[in-house]
Amino acid sequence: MQWNLDQLRLFVSVAEQSSFSAAARQLKRVQSAVSSSIAMLESDLGVSLFERSSGRQPVLTQEGRALLDEAREVLRQCERLESRAMALVRGQEARLRLAQDEAMPYQPVLSSLQALAQAFPTLEVQLASGAQGDVARKLLERRADLGLLFHHEGMPKELERQRLGTIEMVTVCGAGHALASLDYADRRELARHRQLLMAPQDSHYPGGEQISPLVWRADSFYAMAELLMRDLGWAWLPRHVAQYPAYQSLLVELDSDWTPPPLVVELVWRRDEPLGPAAEWLGGWLAEHLKE
């Protein structure tokens, strides 16, 4: 087989664009060259990747659908190889920009930065915190080198992810809310009261299930906690947010028949930009200590 990586990139692009001409524009090629490369790839692989008929967009064949994910993974592996090689050439970075979801457990993060300062005393660190979506956005816009966030299904494909640990979720309301006086709150009872959820609706975070017909939304767990303290509803929060010192005696954890699965904490970075030694060291430290 004589196929090459350029042909795989064209194959993936045509499949994602559902158009030879759109793929050609995206990759700055002429359409005839794209069609010819795909035909050569099909010949080398011995299968037809697209069904072609006059006046129709190219549609993946059964074989094409089976090979598309394989082609994507080969390209991802190549990006990782190039990124790793660049890191080896570059050596220690002079600056590390860490972006984190503001609801990340603060003690492990602070401990990690303290340890980082001892291991890399000359390293400049920039720490940014933000609400949902801010971390991924900073990475995509190359305004951060490393991110700490909670896993969700809509993660951009340009980002590489490493699972670090999980955080328990609890059902919470304000101390003066009607639910706070109940020994047990089942789904029917919860549905009678306003529910606070993460925004937007397609965030895909654990705990995104709407139970109540009346919903308010916020982009921050801490903003939700502030609303809860004013008895404006109930919500699912990470346990460490619900137990934040400022909220003591103002929030009540409810005994309920359903609690969402734990939040998964992930370390995230751009696949096409290598992590330097300090970033890799910090990632390893967080992976070990967040499990605790």
Please report the beta strands in the chain, taking only residues with DSSP state E, as ranges in sequence order.
Answer: 50-51, 59-60, 95-101, 124-130, 146-150, 159-167, 169-174, 195-198, 215-218, 234-238, 251-253, 263-270
pLDDT at 236: 93
Q: Do domains 92-165+264-290 and 169-261 have the same CATH topology?
A: yes
Bridge pairing between strands 159-167 and 146-150: unpaired
In the CATH scheme, what is the code of domain 169-261? 3.40.190.10
Rounded CA-CA distance 55/141 in Å is: 38
Q: Could you tell me if 268 and 139 are in contact, meaning their C-beta atoms sit under 8 angstroms apart?
A: yes
Rounded CA-CA distance 60/69 in Å is: 12
Average pLDDT, the chain: 86
Rounded CA-CA distance 44/42 in Å is: 5
Banded pLDDT at 45 (limits 50, 70, 90)? confident
Region 287-291: mean pLDDT is: 76
Alpha-carbon torsion 225, 165, 278, 122, what sign?
positive
pLDDT at 55: 60
Of all residues in the chain, the percent with pLDDT exceeding 90 is 32
pTM above 0.75, yes or no: no
Q: Could you tell me if 251 and 229 are in contact, meaning their C-beta atoms sit under 8 angstroms apart?
A: yes
pLDDT at 81: 80
Banded pLDDT at 195 (limits 50, 70, 90)? very high
Banded pLDDT at 144 (limits 50, 70, 90)? very high
Q: Could you tell me if 185 and 171 are in contact, meaning their C-beta atoms sit under 8 angstroms apart?
A: yes
Rounded CA-CA distance 246/3 in Å is: 61
Q: What are the tens digits of pLDDT across the range 91-126? A: 668 889 999 988 888 888 889 999 999 988 888 899
Q: Could you tell me if 241 and 225 are in contact, meaning their C-beta atoms sit under 8 angstroms apart?
A: yes
Q: What are the tens digits of pLDDT across the range 52-67? A: 765 677 888 888 888 8
Q: Domain extents for the chain?
A: 5-88, 92-165+264-290, 169-261
Region 138-161: mean pLDDT is: 87
Rounded CA-CA distance 3/45 in Å is: 8
Taking CB atoms within 8 Å and a gap of at least 24, the contacts of 281-284 are 281/116, 281/119, 281/120, 282/96, 282/98, 282/112, 282/116, 282/146, 283/146, 283/162
Q: Could you tell me if 40 and 4 are in contact, meaning their C-beta atoms sit under 8 angstroms apart?
A: no
pLDDT at 97: 94
Residue 90 pLDDT greater than 80, yes or no: no
Q: Could you tell me if 150 and 203 are in contact, meaning their C-beta atoms sit under 8 angstroms apart?
A: no
- What class is the 5-88 domain? mainly alpha
Which of 26-37 are b and which e, b meaning 16 or more Cβ less than 10 Å from the residue's Cβ?
beebeeeebbeb
Rounded CA-CA distance 150/156 in Å is: 13
pLDDT at 108: 85
- What class is the 92-165+264-290 domain? alpha beta
Give the SS3 label for residue 19.
coil
Q: What are the tens digits of pLDDT across the range 205-255? A: 555 788 999 999 998 889 999 999 999 999 999 999 999 898 989 999 999
- Neighbour count for residue 47 (Cβ, 10 Å): 14
Q: Could you tell me if 279 and 145 are in contact, meaning their C-beta atoms sit under 8 angstroms apart?
A: yes
